Structure 1
Amino acid sequence: MSSRSAILDQIRRQLGRGPLPPDAVAALEARRPAHTRVAVGDDLVTRFIARFESRAGSVARVATLDEVPAAVAAYQARLGLPPRAAVARPLAGLPWPAGFSHHPGPAGPDELLSVTPCLAGIAEVGSVALPSGPDSPTTLNFVPDHHLVVLHCSQIVRHFEDVWPLVRARPGGMPRTINLVAGPSRTGDVELTLQLGAHGPRSVHVILVDAPI
């Protein structure tokens, strides 16, 4: 049991009741104030790709999750990187090519390439939501020069606000950190010249998987 669950259970015991029934939960949800959201068309995948690539991110598309290792190897070879990566544990069991070395995180300062899953893609702005945790440490998102993110088309949501119900529904509860990444790290502080990789990866590459998660 998480600390959050233990605290909530203690509060319920003090109040003399258990979890709220579904109709009470629905009534409370209905009381949340609504606000105007950016209009987003129904083709969420196309919108996500366009917005993500507009900020120097790149996208490759594969049919199934088993094709991810080949896409990673192709990206690594195209950039002339060593055939090695820090790979988050949920992806470690995929059929990685012979000769491609991979290990579960965290990523050290000499790591050049990392591969992680994500919680969601946000069509509105073209960002990916990356929760922290022991299976995908935050170092994988920011330490290597090149970060590859595996995103299923079925994980793409319409607006920022649509991410938070997914966060609350995670089996492990609320993570310590959620990073919303919209492309490579950058700065224009030096003579107003855009530089990539200022405070994180020089490249962020999404591998978009057609098959549902």
Structure 2
Amino acid sequence: MDTSSARRNILARIRAAQGREPEPAAAEREAAADYLARHPRGPRPEMPADLTARFIEEALKLATTVDTVQTLNDVPAAAHRYLTEHALPLQAIAWQTLQDLRWADAGLAVEFRKPQDSGVVGLTGCFCATAETGTLVLLSGPQTYASAGLLPETHIAIVPASRIVAGHEEAFDLIRKERDELPRAVNFVSGPSRTGDIEQTIVLGAHGPYRVHVIIVKDA
């Protein structure tokens, strides 16, 4: 369900209560951009030249498993290998943006739809990933539904090496550069879902996937 119009209506009512026009004027947008440009960012850790290596290092700390392939065409076989090694189902749901990959040839039965239960494997891409924290950045959309990476017990994410950025700041810079407006949801996925609410004992899969597996594509 597209909630963009509902969001615009809510924001328009808030702006009306403030005595402003329903939509921001060009001058207002320019003032916001100027504010961001003039305010320096806080101190940050140094990042290595090899962002992919740093991403892998941090992702492993979060209990994310990682595989690396050369091209996108190698992804279905890598996904099949991971699922087989862990005795997981060879059926999955996936983003519609992944329809061109040859999943069936690799022995996977993939449906390009939103998940209807939590017992399946979810295959997604990502908008980008951050090396500083080993985090996936997923933007929701009609073909990139957020539920594919949140509801299934196993989440397999495809990460082009060229889309690994230093940190969250660069991720938001990229969103502002490539998107006219923020999507309905921006999800930052840092390893499997976990909680320590009960007796400070970490439990995986409490509010999302038990497993997060990343396939990094070098030539993408």
TM-score under structure 2 length normalisation = 0.81
1:206 to 183, 200, 214: 214
Answer whether contact 2:95 2:113 (CA < 8 A) is retained. Answer: yes
Distance 1:96 1:154 in 2: 23
Q: Tell me, which stretches of 5 or more residues in structure 2 are unaligned? A: 13-20
What is the match of residue 109 of structure 1?
117
What are the superposed Cα offsets for residues 118-163 of structure 1, whole Å, 9 maximum, x if unpaired?
1111111111101111111111111100001110111111121001
What is the match of residue 91 of structure 2?
84
Q: Is the alpha carbon distance of 1:95 and 1:32 closer, same or farther for their aligned partners in structure 2, counting shifts above 3 Å?
A: same
What is the match of residue 158 of structure 2?
150
Counting aligned pairs with the same residue, the percent is: 36
Distance 1:201 1:26 in 2: 37
What is the match of residue 95 of structure 1?
102
Aligned AA (2:198): V
Structure 1 counterpart SS, 2:39: coil
Aligned AA (1:135): Q
TM-score under structure 1 length normalisation = 0.84
Answer whether contact 2:70 2:218 (CA < 8 A) is retained. Answer: yes
What are the superposed Cα offsets for residues 21-73 of structure 1, whole Å, 9 maximum, x if unpaired?
xxx99966642333211221212111110111001111000000111111111
Q: CA RMSD in A?
A: 2.7
Distance 1:194 1:25 in 2: 41
Distance 1:108 1:169 in 2: 34
What is the match of residue 37 of structure 1?
44
Q: Is the alpha carbon distance of 1:193 and 1:30 closer, same or farther for their aligned partners in structure 2, counting shifts above 3 Å?
A: closer
What is the match of residue 18 of structure 2?
none
Structure 2 counterpart SS, 1:53: helix
CA drift at 1:10 = 6.1
What is the match of residue 169 of structure 1?
177
Structure 2 counterpart SS, 1:130: strand
What is the match of residue 140 of structure 1?
148
Aligned AA (2:143): D
Answer whether contact 1:70 1:97 (CA < 8 A) is retained. Answer: no
Aligned AA (2:57): A
Distance 1:82 1:34 in 2: 45
Answer whether contact 1:105 1:136 (CA < 8 A) is retained. Answer: no
Q: Is the alpha carbon distance of 1:70 and 1:176 closer, same or farther for their aligned partners in structure 2, counting shifts above 3 Å?
A: same
What are the superposed Cα offsets for residues 65-104 of structure 1, whole Å, 9 maximum, x if unpaired?
1111111111111122222111111111101134421111
Q: Tell me, which stretches of 5 or more residues in structure 1 are unaligned? A: none
Listed as ranges, the matches of 1:172-211 within 5 Å are 173-211=181-219
Give the total of aligned pairs.
203
Structure 2 counterpart SS, 1:129: strand
Structure 1 counterpart SS, 2:178: coil
What are the superposed Cα offsets for residues 145-191 of structure 1, whole Å, 9 maximum, x if unpaired?
00011101111111210011211233463111111111001122334
Aligned AA (2:183): P
What is the match of residue 132 of structure 2?
124
Answer whether contact 2:127 2:163 (CA < 8 A) is retained. Answer: yes
Answer whether contact 2:104 2:110 (CA < 8 A) is retained. Answer: no
